Structure 1
Amino acid sequence: MNKLRLIIFGILLTVGMSCSSENEDDIQPDPSGDRCEDVSATLSGDVQSIITSNCAVPGCHVSGTGRVDFTNKQNIIQRASTINSYVQDGIMPPSGSGKSLTAGEKDDIFCWVSAGAQDN
């Protein structure tokens, strides 16, 4: 009888532990969540102009500098995740450049990348 109780207890414990991570409080929200709820940023309508004004400027991300040329939209698309990381972390544009992004511009880049960094 004690052996049967141990087996049942073991089964119940295993089932309980496997279901415990499905608690609604444990579910992680989509990282874009509310931030992108009202943002429908596109490459051609939003992101490309932000990059052109703040990154693809003389001495920075243009041809001949040895850096990635962001006047080429394929380079922007291919490096979308890195661009987003640098922008969100405040690494780019660099503080000494005289350039800065608004919260809305950062959101546009974040939401465009979160939506798949499409050529749109």
Structure 2
Amino acid sequence: MKLMKYLMVFMLLVFAGACSSENEEDINPGNGNGDPCENNNATLSGDVLAIINANCAVSGCHVPGGTGTVDFTVKENIIQNATTIRTYTQSGFMPPPEANNTLSEQEKDDIYCWVANGAQDN
């Protein structure tokens, strides 16, 4: 019975954390003045792929045989999951703390703006 209580509390915390940054205002970079992507023309090939390759498509994570989740060594998978990548990186959910990788504000902004500008294969 005690285990069930702990499990329910854990699930509630996981659910609350997963939904905490679903609003655009919560994940929008910048200071709230104007378009945060006005001067950020991040591209997949020029900016985002390097961020993904260094922080996500690494051993034990988003690679074949990694966590069992999406394989980010495949460019189409990155494009198809762009909104989720933006949400998770903006909220700090990814990369996870145990990965010992953190994204700079510039890297987060580049991902955000690439998605905001259509998550194109560019």
Q: What TM-score results when the alignment is normalised by the length of structure 2?
A: 0.71
Q: Give matches, 1:1-120, under 5 Å.
A: 33-65=34-66, 66-120=68-122
Q: Give per-residue Cα distances to partners, 1:67-118, cap 9 Å, x unaligned.
A: 2110100000000000000000100000111100000000000000000000
The residue identity in structure 2 corresponding to 1:71 is: T
Instruction: Determine helix, strand or coil for the equivalent of 1:41.
Output: coil
- Determine the structure 2 residue equivalent to 1:23: none
Q: Report the CA distance between 1:119 and its aligned residue.
A: 0.2
- Determine the structure 1 residue equivalent to 2:21: none
Aligned length: 90
Distance, in Å, in 1 between the alignment partners of 2:38 and 2:106 is 13
Distance, in Å, in 1 between the alignment partners of 2:103 and 2:118 is 21
Distance, in Å, in 2 between the alignment partners of 1:35 and 1:103 is 12
Q: Report the CA distance between 1:64 and its aligned residue.
A: 1.4
Structure 2: unaligned runs, 5 residues or longer: 1-27
Distance, in Å, in 2 between the alignment partners of 1:109 and 1:43 is 9
Instruction: Tell me how large the CA RMSD over aligned residues is.
Output: 1.2
- Specify the structure having the higher radius of gyration (Cα): 1
Distance, in Å, in 2 between the alignment partners of 1:56 and 1:67 is 11
Structure 1: unaligned runs, 5 residues or longer: 1-30
Q: What TM-score results when the alignment is normalised by the length of structure 1?
A: 0.72
Displacement over 4 Å in runs of 4+: none
The residue identity in structure 1 corresponding to 2:45 is: S
